[in-house]
């Protein structure tokens, strides 16, 4: 659920006693071509027997809008959520659709019912009732672990914030990354979204991470050049440090940041990672992982530590403790646990300068095998990570 656009438009040519409305097939064909020409947008189009349908993505962090043309009047229906990003995004979408309607010689059948900013805040307040943790503008794939009362696209909010928004909805404006229109506002929103959801907040591991950090720097620079002063300078400064920047522009950002701590980023928290066999493990958000060997082995690292995970199922086995002991210990055993029907054993070894924890967890008939590599100082963390393995 959310707040968004739900509006209809009709041909201006259809008005008047002797004027005929256009054919929906012709309008759909023209609309499809116009959408393909639209900058910073992508579309998926489907022509059905009774209508033309298109899903248009205007921003990678927002769900697509659905456009359909049908009926004897070739009415255009536009529907989609905009509260994921905010009223600035809402206005941006309508601004992009304006020239499309002009090309089609269409007009909205009614004005927008409410100002999007206050309306979005009212919707937000309506979502905050009760005591459960509330997610706003985040997908089911969002698995970061925090007990914050509310999670927004640009950071967690506490119970006091929640109470304040319930009392006065407009105080929820800071939950939306793209609040207003104007120069630099999209760049600021894009930077905040990436900093909160994507940046790993550590030294980069590959060109993709370098490119992501450089894009955030460009967006923040564009927002500042547009006159926006409310920017996260401490976090920007940290990001520039990872990029190894020491030029004049970076030095100015370092000065603006001062000694204030950097606080932005869900990836500073632990997150739950879904693995094969129905297993889940807790890992720091700074880890970056991938599947190998035809999706049978998961590997992940933050540059200093690394894990490897595989799983198997022993059909017919019902005793977790017996299942765990099928494989004899190869290295010294440093820890064991039993938690209901879940049993675990951890062994350690050293290879050159790498300290390795070999963890097994059995939850009959399923077995998880987790290998964690780092140094001796990482052993306590490695054992906690092994213990976090569970099936849900």
Burial of 361 (0-12, 13-18, 19+ CB in 10 A): buried
Say which DSSP state 144 is in: B
Range in 7-16, 21-30, 183-192, 316-325 the model is least confident about: 7-16
* pTM of the predicted protein model: 0.91
CATH architecture of 4-108: 2-Layer Sandwich (3.30)
Q: Write down the residue that tokens 């793209």 correspond to.
A: 178
Q: 21 falls in which pLDDT band (50, 70, 90)?
A: confident
Q: Judge whether residue 139 has pLDDT over 90.
A: no
For 323-336, how does the pLDDT look when each residue is reduced to its tens digit (9 = 90+)? 999 989 999 999 99
Q: Report pLDDT for 19.
A: 61
Q: Report pLDDT for 221.
A: 98
Identify the CATH assignment for 270-391 out of 3.40.50.300, 3.40.50.1100, 3.40.1000.10, 3.30.365.10.
3.40.1000.10
Q: Report pLDDT for 167.
A: 98
Cα–Cα distance for residue pair 275/263, rounded to 1 Å: 29
Q: How far from 294 is each of 148, 175, 389, CA to CA, in Å?
A: 37, 40, 22
For 66-108, how does the pLDDT look when each residue is reduced to its tens digit (9 = 90+)? 999 998 899 999 999 999 999 999 999 999 999 999 999 999 9
Cα–Cα distance for residue pair 114/131, rounded to 1 Å: 29
CATH topology match: 4-108 vs 270-391? no
Mean pLDDT to the nearest integer, 241-270: 97
Percent of the chain having pLDDT more than 90?
87
Q: Could you tell me the two tokens for 328?
A: 């004899």
Q: 4 falls in which pLDDT band (50, 70, 90)?
A: very high
Q: By the 8 A CB rule, do 386 and 359 touch? A: yes
Report domain extents, the chain.
4-108, 182-268, 270-391
Cα–Cα distance for residue pair 6/80, rounded to 1 Å: 7
């Amino acid at each position: 659920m959310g707040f968004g656009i739900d509006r209809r438009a009709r041909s201006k040519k259809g008005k008047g006693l002797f004027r005929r409305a256009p054919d929906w097939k012709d309008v759909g064909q023209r609309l499809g071509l116009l959408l393909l020409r639209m900058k910073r947008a992508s579309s998926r189009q489907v022509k059905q027997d009774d209508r033309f349908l298109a899903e248009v993505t205007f921003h990678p962090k927002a769900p697509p809008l659905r456009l359909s043309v049908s009926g004897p009047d070739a009415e255009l229906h536009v529907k989609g959520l905009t509260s994921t990003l905010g009223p600035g995004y809402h206005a941006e979408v309508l601004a992009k659709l304006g020239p499309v309607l002009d090309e089609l010689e269409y007009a909205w059948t009614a004005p927008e019912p409410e100002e999007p900013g206050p309306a979005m805040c009212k919707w937000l307040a309506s979502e905050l009732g009760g005591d459960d943790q509330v997610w706003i503008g985040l997908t089911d794939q969002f698995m970061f672990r925090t007990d914050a009362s509310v999670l927004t696209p640009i950071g967690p909010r506490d119970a006091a914030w929640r109470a304040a928004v319930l009392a006065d909805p407009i105080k929820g404006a800071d939950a939306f990354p793209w609040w207003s229109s104007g120069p630099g506002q999209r760049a600021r929103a894009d930077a905040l979204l990436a900093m909160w959801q994507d940046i790993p907040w550590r030294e980069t591991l590959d060109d993709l991470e370098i490119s992501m950090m450089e894009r955030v720097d460009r967006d923040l620079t564009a927002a500042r050049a547009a006159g926006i002063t409310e920017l996260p300078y401490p976090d920007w400064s940290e990001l520039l440090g990872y990029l190894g920047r020491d030029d004049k522009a970076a030095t100015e950002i370092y000065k603006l940041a001062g000694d204030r701590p950097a606080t932005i980023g869900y990836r500073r928290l632990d997150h739950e990672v879904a693995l094969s066999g129905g297993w889940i493990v807790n890992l720091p958000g700074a880890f970056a992982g991938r599947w190998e060997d035809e999706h049978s082995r998961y590997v992940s690292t933050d540059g200093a530590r690394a894990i490897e995970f595989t799983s198997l199922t022993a059909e017919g086995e019902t005793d977790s403790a017996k299942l765990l002991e099928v494989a004899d210990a190869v290295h010294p055993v440093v820890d064991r646990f039993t938690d209901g029907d879940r049993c675990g054993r951890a062994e350690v070894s050293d290879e050159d300068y790498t300290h390795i924890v070999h963890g097994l967890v059995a939850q009959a008939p399923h077995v998880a095998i987790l290998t964690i590599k780092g140094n001796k100082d990482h052993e306590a963390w490695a054992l906690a990570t092994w213990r976090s393995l569970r099936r849900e």
